[in-house]
Amino acid sequence: MNDSTRTVLFVLGVMLAALSVAKLIPAVVDLQSDAASAHAFLGSATVGGFIGGVLALMTRGGAKTLTARGAILVTGGSWVVMAIAAAVPLKLAVTGMSWTDALFESTSGLTTTGATVMTGLQDQPAGVLIWRSILQWIGGIGIIVTAMAIWPLLGIGGMQLFRLESSDTSEKALPRAGQIAAAVGVIYLVLTFICFLAYIATDMTPFDAAAHAMTTVATGGFSTHDGSIGAFAAGGSDLVALVFMILAALPFVLFLRAAQGRPDYLWTDPQVRGFIGVVLAASAFLTAWLFLTDPPLGQDLPAWRLAAVNAVSVLTGTGYASADFGLWGGAAVAVFFVLMFIGGCAGSTTCSVKLFRYEIAGAALLRQVELLARPRVVRPVRYGGRAVSDDTVRSVLSFFFVFFTTWVVSAAALSLIGLDPVTAISGAATTIANVGPGLGPIIGPAGTFQPLPDAAKWVMTLTMLIGRLEVFTMLVLLTPGFWRR
């Protein structure tokens, strides 16, 4: 066994053991109120902890090296292993849940997609509800660390642009990537705690506040109520969600730099400016649309509030809903569909394509147009004041091609399974973009994924993983060539 393989197995063992420790939280929560659920979590934690501990002990020691192949195995393997392990207590604790549904729900949690097959949430065991929130919270911080530590080294989808060692020492927030990851983890924890206090101030119960704080900062969208964040809108919880969804969609490294005395990074970063611009434009359009059309809203809330909360929720991939925006009319639904494919900033907890790729692709397009008019001009693509290499541009453009091709293929597969066109197209979009709700009466904001056939759930489970891991990571693992020596 070479050092890289040993490192991969060691990391998988540690992560499995850590996830098992996290299962003790819902076990304690349900200890007095639901013994069956508590036993499910305790038993799962015991078995998972044993397997993870043995694997980590067997592969400990030696040089901890990681090749590019090993980095892909760690990234893809850890999310798959954790999704399977997280599904076990759900299957055992939730009455009538199949293994397919359990894996769909756990994958949706870890990938922070927020699509659910569960109904009657307010009647489910408290441990199950808090476990769903914990999964999304783990997935949120996990994707930030992965985006900073692994993808830039592999150059996946243009992420090499954010390679820490590509800038000089004066621009680094801290001298080592490990230190940055630890500092960002602290910021993630602090932001979650502040969000929790803000929810408490809106008259949420401590349990609901804790569950929603984790899923808001993770931009995951799981709720403790079938009515999602709209069930708590009377106290203003939807506005708290709006603020923290926006904060969670910004690059977390910029919060670190702001804490070190450079808050100007927060408004000079091109991603942040682009993201805020999209938020304002989408909210303004939807507000005007609601004023002009007066659709059935179902709640006594201002149009701007409904527009902003739901637009930001879909844009960031959180998936909260304070109203059934599927009833707002064709133009509004089209806007929400487009927002699914945008996402937030790189280095945040958000999903989908992300703003920086659109900005780089736009700059590359403008350069190409200029070259047609002035063939002798020499002008590189620039982003954030820096020249972008041709490799990075190609990587970004390749990401667009593979991302949207995967969406089309998965939509076609869902159609062949028997889903109607709206459900198939929006279901493929919302899972690969890790948004949560789709469109239409079945999987729209007022529906769930429960009625779908198992085959469709398996396709969507795979697309959730593909989308969350920036497409290339999972697709490489699915190619036979990767496994050949």
Cite the annotated binding site for K(+) by residue number: 112-113, 220, 318, 434-435
Q: Which residues participate in the annotated binding site?
A: 112-113, 220, 318, 434-435
Rg of the chain over all Cα atoms, to the nearest angstrom: 22
What are the φ/ψ torsions at residue 471 (nearest 5 degrees)? 65, -60
Rounded-to-integer distance, Cα 293 and Cα 288, Å: 9
Q: Give residues with Cβ within 8 angstroms of 395, minimum separation 6.
A: 155, 156, 157, 158, 159, 160
Query: Can you spell out the DSSP letters for 432-448?
Result: HTT----SHHHHSTT--
Q: Is 258 exposed, middle or buried (0-12, 13-18, 19+ CB in 10 A)?
A: middle
Q: Give residues with Cβ within 8 angstroms of 96, minimum separation 6.
A: none
Q: What's the half-sphere exposure (Cβ side, CA atoms, 13 Å) at 432?
A: 29
- Side chain identity, residue 368: Q
Per DSSP, the three-state class of 172 is coil
Residue 452 DSSP code? S
Rounded-to-integer distance, Cα 102 and Cα 397, Å: 35
Rounded-to-integer distance, Cα 425 and Cα 69, Å: 33
Rounded-to-integer distance, Cα 55 and Cα 320, Å: 38
Query: Can you spell out the DSSP letters for 173-242?
Result: SSSSHHHHHHHHHHHHHHHHHHHHHHHHHTT--HHHHHHHHHHHHTT----SSTTGGGGGGGGTHHHHHH
